[in-house]
Amino acid sequence: IHLDTELTQLDGFVGNFKSTLSSNGKQQELDHGIAVIATGGAPLQTTEYSYGQDPRIVTSLELDQKLMTDDPMIAKAEAAVFIQCVGSREPERPYCSRVCCTHTIDNALELKKRNPAMNIYILYRDVRTYGEREYLYKEAREKGVIFIRYSLDRKPEVRLEDGKLLVNVIDHVIGSPVEIETDLLSLATAVIPNRDEQLANFFKVPLNEDGF
C-alpha cells in the first residue's frame, strides 16, 4: 500500500507492466503483471430539496452512518421519505448512477426491520434494481414501503414549516398532490466520476462521455 502516491509513468503491456510511483519527490519502479483500475466516484454535493438547512435532511451515505451508529434520530423516526435521482438523469448529468435504487431500498428495509410500523415513502422516477436485486424491490413492496413516481418536470418540493419537515409530490396514480410529514428525508445523490484522463491514457482505457 502506497499512500500519497501518484502513478507518473507506465511502460509495458498486460502481464509485464513497469510502473513508476512518485511520492514526496521520490520515485520507485514496480514490476507487475496485472493492474486493477478502481478509480471510484464521489457523491454529488447538492443544495436541492433544502439539503443543509435541517439535520433531518441527509444523503444516502449520511443515512448509512446514522444506521451504523444507531443515531437516536433513527429510533425516534415514525416516517421516512427517500427521493431518488437527485442531480442525475438531468441535462447536466444524463446518466443513471445505477446503485442508488438498490441502496435506497436496502436502507428502507433496514428501517422497516427496526420499526415495522414506520411509514416509508420512496419518491422515484424509475426503479432500477438490476438483476436479482429486483427481489429487494418486491420485498419492500410486501413490507409496506410506498413507492410514488414523479416526473422531471414535476419534482417533489420540500418545506420547513413550524418545525415540521414536509414533502409535497404529485401522486402518479390518482394524479393529485400529496403532502407527507416526515421525520427523516434521505436524498439519493448522483455519483460523480473521478475523471482521470492521464490514468486512462496510461492503460489505454477509454472514458465514456460522462467521464467514467
Predicted local confidence at residue 42, as pLDDT: 94
Cα 67 to chain centroid distance, Å, stands at 16
Give the helix/strand (H/E) hosting 107.
helix 100-114
Among 135, 165, 134, which Cα is nearest to 54's? 165
**Cβ neighbours of residue 29 closer than 8 Å, sequence gap 6 or more:** 18, 19, 20, 21
The 10s digit of each residue's pLDDT in 120-137 is 999 999 999 999 999 999
Predicted local confidence at residue 172, as pLDDT: 85
Predicted local confidence at residue 174, as pLDDT: 87
The 10s digit of each residue's pLDDT in 145-199 is 999 999 999 999 999 999 999 999 998 888 899 999 999 999 999 999 998 889 9
**Residue 176, φ and ψ in degrees, nearest 5:** -125, 155
**Cβ neighbours of residue 58 closer than 8 Å, sequence gap 6 or more:** 66, 184, 185, 186, 187
The 10s digit of each residue's pLDDT in 44-92 is 999 999 999 999 999 999 999 999 999 999 999 999 999 999 999 999 9
Helix, strand or coil for residue 75? Answer: helix
Rounded-to-integer distance, Cα 191 and Cα 98, Å: 9
Predicted local confidence at residue 173, as pLDDT: 87
